[in-house]
Amino acid sequence: DQQVKQNSPSLSVQEGRISILNCDYTNSMFDYFLWYKKYPAEGPTFLISISSIKDKNEDGRFTVFLNKSAKHLSLHIVPSQPGDSAVYFCAASLIQGAQKLVFGQGTRLTINP
């Protein structure tokens, strides 16, 4: 039972354009949603988060939107740069003794010059 899903395994975007990565979830008890970025042979690094009580959070070129009624979130990267090429994981947080993260399958983003 996949509680967090990223239905696009890959996405290719031209440099300078907007990249939009999508994520769907099923559990309405999640309290935070996060995006992690992962380069090959490295561990994931935290990018941006959003509380379940918000609908938008912005940090520089990165904006995360949350639509609770649709159980959907998206990450917008504007403008896209070659260094943004990586695998992006959506994750959702549950506080049960400790903060537990449930990850989506990941989307490989390629930025073309």
Partner 1 sequence: NAGVTQTPKFRVLKTGQSMTLLCAQDMNHEYMYWYRQDPGMGLRLIHYSVGEGTTAKGEVPDGYNVSRLKKQNFLLGLESAAPSQTSVYFCASSQPIGRFYEQYFGPGTRLTVT
Residue numbers at the binding site for partner 1 (CB under 8 A): 4, 6, 9, 31-32, 36, 41-46, 49, 51, 89, 91, 93, 95, 97-106
Q: Which of 30, 24, 42 is nearest to 86 (CA)?
A: 42
Closer to partner 1 at the Cβ: 29 or 95?
95
Q: Which amino acid is at 78?
A: V
Q: What is the CA radius of gyration of the chain?
A: 14
Shortest approach of partner 1 to residue 44 CB, angstroms? 5
Report the nearest approach of partner 1 to the CB of residue 101 (Å): 7
Nearest distance, CB of residue 36 and partner 1, angstroms: 8
Please report how close the Cβ of residue 42 comes to partner 1 at its closest, in angstroms. 6
Buried b / exposed e over 54-70, threshold 16 CB at 10 Å, is eeeeeeeebbbbbeeee
Cα–Cα distance, 98 to 106 (Å, whole number) = 23
CA distance linking residue 77 with residue 74, whole number of Å: 10
**Looking at beta carbons only, is 64 or 89 nearer to partner 1?**
89
Nearer to partner 1, 2 or 112 (CB): 2
Given the complex with partner 1, which of 45 and 67 has the nearer CB atom? 45
